[in-house]
Amino acid sequence: MRGYAAPIAFSDLIREGDLVVCGQATAEPITLTEALMAQASHLPPFRMMVGPVFSETFSAGQAPNVSFQSYGVIGNARRLAKAGRLDVIPSNYSAFCADFAARRHKADVVLVQLAESAGRLSASLSNDYVIDAARSARLVVAEINPDAPFTFGAEWPAEVPIHIRVTARRPPVELASPPLDDISSRIAAHAASLIVDGSTLQFGVGRIPDAILSSLSHSRNLGIHSGLINDAVVELIEHGVVTNAEKGIDAGITVTNQVIGTKRLYRFVHENKEVSVRPTSYTHGQGVLARINRLVAINSALQVGLDGSVNSETLNGVAIGAIGGQLDFVRGANASPGGRAIIALPATASDGASRIVANVETVTTPRADVDAIVTEWGVAELRGCGLAERARRMIAIAAPEHRDALSAQLGRPAR
């Protein structure tokens, strides 16, 4: 630890009804958020806007005077959702961020983690909605973390005021890659067959995206333009697999909106001019994505219907996922020259239920936008297929024990 200062008192800072916005995922300013939640029961009622949560900061049983909001249910935010304490805003990630820029969402208090180098400040691990939220906030509190990497593209704008500066008490949140298993490895092998040399990759958090990245060690001249990067990207760059040479834009540059990983990744991106942490308007912008060569969007789902409709948000009426950037990147990949939009998921849930279903309960990505669905049982190429052929192909990649039941719902035997 390096001279971390004591946390501030929020009693004179938080007003009744305030919307408090904090950095998300590994960009959570944990010194500030832990102090706020520890003091919350003694503060007037306020609202807290969170994104993906990978810390232990927000407990479902604490601070009943705090109401939580988010654009999805990711990581430990599921605890809040399960307890009925998380109000989900159903929005594409790009639109959610744009709403702060347009002041349709307006923060009163912003808590942000920053890195500092030679007098310059950087938003470090995430260039999301926090900067735009800070532009119109009454109060901006910055946690300067000496262990946070200084990243290019995420420089803090000089015109956005910082009212209070606090030194972090601990390093940034880390998220290690989950261990691979047989199912994710089988899914990865099928997905990798769709990724040609010279492709540019987008991917999310989780075992399946990590498995797919790990399966690409023999590929050549891959690029990265993604909502996030993780430790697996460092491996691919260091082994010369990712060169960013054939993207069509940002040659030689790994482009991301968030940095989510461990110290290894944080050291790699620190003052690395070959990594650019760009705002959502750039990383998720349709005009930008359409200019990228062979953009391959890799996303997951909770369910996929026989018509190809994708559900990444709810099960049994309960929100346990997010829209996130899925539709942004699916449509961007479809518009990209040579692009592919891959939805990869296990064929069965942990309770044995089929994740290939007759009809999804919530449509995250419409069937008209779907390209390829991948499970451990194979690939269903759906682009250009009629509904009957789509159903046949989807049943073929369902778990064998569920194929007859799915076929029966269509009134014909499985093949």
d(CA 25, CA 23): 7
Residue 263 lies inside a defined structural domain of this protein = yes
One domain for residues 33 and 114:
yes
Tell me the one-letter amino acid at 71.
Y
Token pair of 305 as six digits? 């219907």
Confidence band, pLDDT 50/70/90 cuts, at residue 110: very high
Q: What is the CATH number of the domain that holds 85?
A: 3.40.1080.10
Residue 9 lies inside a defined structural domain of this protein = no
One domain for residues 224 and 135:
no
Confidence band, pLDDT 50/70/90 cuts, at residue 5: low
Q: What is the CATH number of the domain that holds 283?
A: 3.40.1080.20
One domain for residues 152 and 222:
no
- Listing DSSP states for 48-100 in one string gives EE--SB-SS---TTS-TTEEEEESB--BTHHHHHHTT-EEE----HHHHHHHH
Residue 5 lies inside a defined structural domain of this protein = no
Residue 75 lies inside a defined structural domain of this protein = yes
One domain for residues 298 and 357:
yes
Of the residues 124, 141, 167, the one at which a domain ends: 167
Of the residues 105, 136, 167, the one at which a domain ends: 167
Q: What is the mean pLDDT of the chain?
A: 95
Of the residues 140, 167, 194, the one at which a domain ends: 167
One domain for residues 328 and 365:
yes
Confidence band, pLDDT 50/70/90 cuts, at residue 415: very low
Burial 12-48 (b: 16+ CB within 10 A, else e): ebbeeebbbbbbbbbbbbbbbbbbbbebbeebeebbb
One domain for residues 206 and 163:
no
Arithmetic mean of pLDDT, 359-385: 97
Cα dist from 183 to 306, 376, 399, whole Å: 21, 6, 12
Tell me the one-letter amino acid at 243.
T
One domain for residues 107 and 209:
no
Domain that holds residue 93: 19-167
In the 8-state DSSP scheme, what is residue 17? T
Tell me the one-letter amino acid at 51.
G
* Burial of 101 per CB tally in 10 Å (0-12, 13-18, 19+): middle
pLDDT at 40 over 70: yes
Return the sign of the alpha-carbon dihedral for residues 406, 410, 413, 415: negative
Model confidence pLDDT, tens digit, residues 65-108: 999 999 999 999 999 999 999 999 999 999 999 999 999 999 99
One domain for residues 115 and 203:
no
One domain for residues 334 and 401:
yes
Residue 124 lies inside a defined structural domain of this protein = yes
Model confidence pLDDT, tens digit, residues 334-365: 999 999 999 999 999 999 999 999 999 999 99
Residue 233 lies inside a defined structural domain of this protein = yes
Q: What is the 3-state secondary structure (H, E, C) of 344-381?
A: ECCCECCCCCECEECCCCCCCECHHHCCEEEECCEEEE
**pTM of the full predicted structure?**
0.94
One domain for residues 284 and 249:
yes
Per the structure, how many domains does the chain have? Answer: 2
Residue 13 lies inside a defined structural domain of this protein = no
One domain for residues 124 and 195:
no
One domain for residues 146 and 242:
no
Residue 7 lies inside a defined structural domain of this protein = no
Nearest to 51 by CA among 17, 18, 19, 75: 75
